[in-house]
Structure 1
Amino acid sequence: MTESTAFVPERGFPYWKGHGTGNDFVLVADPQGTLKITPAMTALICDRHRGIGADGLIRALRSENLPEGQALLSFAPDADWFMDYRNADGSIAEMCGNGVRVFVHFLFSTGLVDLPEAATITVGTRAGAKKVTRIGNDYEIDMGPWRKAFPERTAVDGTDATVTLPGADPERGVSIDMGNPHTVVILPAGTPLAPLDLAREPMVSPKPRRGTNVEFASLTQPSAPEEPQVISMRVYERSVGETQACGTGACATAAAVRILSRRTDHNWIIRMPGGPVLVRFEKEQAVDGVAREHVFLKGPARMVANGTIDPEMWDLTDAPGLLEVAQ
């Protein structure tokens, strides 16, 4: 494909559709950064009834053509491509773990980058540069260090927030920063997650200023020590609702289980409605006596469709005011 993409709404413009373990995205190629896609337009594109339908929209552009990308290039000069990610409601998000895999697979499958087996590419996000390695049909991302978001308010049991679902008793959660915010509730091992009501946004107290993704998880039957431990998880993503999977949420969940259970396992399988991913922890080489722990996320990415957004999508005479809702 070429690197020229003209945005002319009255003529339509090309898009691709992909997913990572059921977390789906509309992707558009805009290497020069010429597309002007407003929050309201993003919300309409992601609408599952009047648009293409997706959990978010990813715009692929060269880092040099976006202010955030230009700043990132100063310390990650090999991050040629930037993942401009928007939630389904049009709001800008820092990043998305499943989205990064789909983004790299999009670049590779459309010929924008050459990525042989076992090769690594560095991509830019609003949560920093991420190194992604192609492993067969999967991609593994170095998500960088994880950290507790609010260590100053951690209770004796390791939790720092209260999470309440409609009609349910409050549960205690752990706030994890993966470049974007997460609040993880760990339920007793073997607890079935299907009965949880995630049709509405869980109430989190104290509520983080930027909002938070909320995960509910439980350990399955413990595995043998040499095998990855298995966690079941469901997630409510801020500005989206419940999704089939969340990559950063899977990483945050594994970190939260390690905190609350005081386990030191390095490999975890996170089972989500959209499918499993592998999360592993690895300490980096110490710098000035400090060795941070990185999280690696491995899972599949698939392209499922491509086409042209028809100009009739923007004709909302039968639904006046829809575009203004997201602005």
Structure 2
Amino acid sequence: MTPFRKMHGLGNDFVVLDARRAELPITPARAAAIADRRRGIGCDQFIVMEPGRDGADVFMRIRNPDGSEAGACGNATRCIASLVAAETGKDRVLVRTIAGDLPVERLPGGLWRADMGPARLGWQEVPLAQKMDTLHLPLSRGVVADPAACSMGNPHATFFVRDLDALPIAELGPSLEHDALFPERANIGFVQVLDPGHLRLIVWERGAGLTLACGSGACAALVNAARRGLTGRRATVSLPGGDLVIEWREDGHVLMTGPVATAFTGTLDLEAYAA
């Protein structure tokens, strides 16, 4: 039997396995089966902790519920850093992902601040299917149009809307995620600007669908809002699961501050899930 943790950041939930001491037989199909909310444990992302090397405290491998691999997950980054900090007593932890290194620090009040790296604004960095201005994409579906795009280690498109509650996001999300403009699919954010220091956000996550919170999506929302002159470089981003504080520093790095939680721990039989 293999131990696991069920963790979350603002309701964005994860199954976390530890493969730092021994390799685990995780395949995309097995990760997807465990992530299934009816036949598995259920989660928005499936996380495997692997050995950290060359200065990193831990390597975090991220899979979406469909088994596809993701480059970034802000809420999971804070969760994994909190586990390493509890083991080592460190207040600063370096989490490595396939998209780069993410330094995380402990703050008072049970909060954690992650440096999600620089926002990548070029069309090839998102990536998009062809050369274009990432501040205004020629993309629309019904009542939404003219999103901005950037990469936070994974591709994001952000639509700015007047009334978030009026949108049929569950209908819009799948089509936009798979639009031909996004060769690697995209996370689709829908943002209502409440005031220059406060955004309201709902994200349709690539490979996961609607989630209670998306850390990298919150980062993308603030960056794209600031690029459009709708906010400054720091704002509170309110998601269905709670609030994150996002800051886009002058050096291009994006900082995300929020809580972490462990829902429960248990063991599972990996061989019970088809590989």
How far the C-alpha of 1:18 sits from its partner, in A, is 0.2
How far the C-alpha of 1:312 sits from its partner, in A, is 8.3
Of 29-38 and 82-91, deviating more is: 29-38
- Poorly superposed stretches of 4+, deviation over 6 Å: none
Structure 2: gaps spanning 5 or more residues: 125-130
How far the C-alpha of 1:282 sits from its partner, in A, is 1.6
1:174 aligns with 2:148: yes
1:161–1:174 CA contact under 8 A, matched in 2: no
How far the C-alpha of 1:206 sits from its partner, in A, is 4.5
Structure 1 residues 206 and 149: alpha-carbon distance in aligned structure 2, compared to 1, 3 A threshold = farther
Could you tell me which residue of structure 1 aligns to residue 246 of structure 2? 279
Q: What TM-score comes out, normalization by structure 1 length?
A: 0.76
Q: State the distance in 2 between where 1:236 and 1:249 align.
A: 9
1:171–1:185 CA contact under 8 A, matched in 2: yes
2:267 to 300, 308, 311: 308
Could you tell me which residue of structure 2 aligns to residue 242 of structure 1? 210
The correspondence of residues 105-144 of structure 1 with structure 2, limited to 5 A, is 105-109=82-86, 111=87, 113-115=88-90, 119-136=91-108, 137-144=110-117
Could you tell me which residue of structure 1 aligns to residue 169 of structure 2? 197
How far the C-alpha of 1:22 sits from its partner, in A, is 0.8
Q: State the distance in 2 between where 1:19 and 1:92 align.
A: 19
How far the C-alpha of 1:40 sits from its partner, in A, is 1.1
Could you tell me which residue of structure 2 aligns to residue 67 of structure 1? none
1:45 to 34, 43, 46: 34
Structure 1 residues 196 and 36: alpha-carbon distance in aligned structure 2, compared to 1, 3 A threshold = same
SS, match of residue 283 in structure 1: coil
SS, match of residue 276 in structure 1: strand
Q: Give, as a single letter, the amino acid of the residue that structure 2 aligns with 1:143.
A: M
2:148–2:157 CA contact under 8 A, matched in 1: yes
1:50–1:313 CA contact under 8 A, matched in 2: no
Q: Give, as a single letter, the amino acid of the residue that structure 1 aligns with 2:123.
A: F
Q: State the distance in 1 between where 2:7 and 2:111 align.
A: 14
- Listed one character per residue, the Cα deviations across residues 164-187 of structure 1 (whole Å, up to 9, x for unaligned) are 2xxx33511111111110011011
How far the C-alpha of 1:25 sits from its partner, in A, is 0.2
2:43 to 46, 49, 54: 54
| Percent pairwise identity | 30
How far the C-alpha of 1:194 sits from its partner, in A, is 5.6
RMSD: 2.1
Q: State the distance in 1 between where 2:216 and 2:210 align.
A: 14
SS, match of residue 147 in structure 2: strand
1:276–1:299 CA contact under 8 A, matched in 2: yes
1:31 aligns with 2:26: no
Could you tell me which residue of structure 2 aligns to residue 153 of structure 1? 132
How far the C-alpha of 1:107 sits from its partner, in A, is 2.5
1:187 aligns with 2:199: no
SS, match of residue 89 in structure 1: coil
1:51–1:313 CA contact under 8 A, matched in 2: no
User: When the two structures are aligned, how many residues end up with a matched partner?
Assistant: 266
Could you tell me which residue of structure 1 aligns to residue 127 of structure 2? none
Structure 1 residues 275 and 161: alpha-carbon distance in aligned structure 2, compared to 1, 3 A threshold = farther
How far the C-alpha of 1:304 sits from its partner, in A, is 1.2
1:161–1:175 CA contact under 8 A, matched in 2: no
How far the C-alpha of 1:310 sits from its partner, in A, is 4.2
Q: Give, as a single letter, the amino acid of the residue that structure 2 aligns with 1:259.
A: R
2:164–2:191 CA contact under 8 A, matched in 1: no
- Listed one character per residue, the Cα deviations across residues 40-65 of structure 1 (whole Å, up to 9, x for unaligned) are 1101111101111101111111134x
Could you tell me which residue of structure 2 aligns to residue 88 of structure 1? 65
SS, match of residue 264 in structure 2: strand
Q: What TM-score comes out, normalization by structure 2 length?
A: 0.89
How far the C-alpha of 1:84 sits from its partner, in A, is 1.1
Q: State the distance in 2 between where 1:261 and 1:33 align.
A: 49
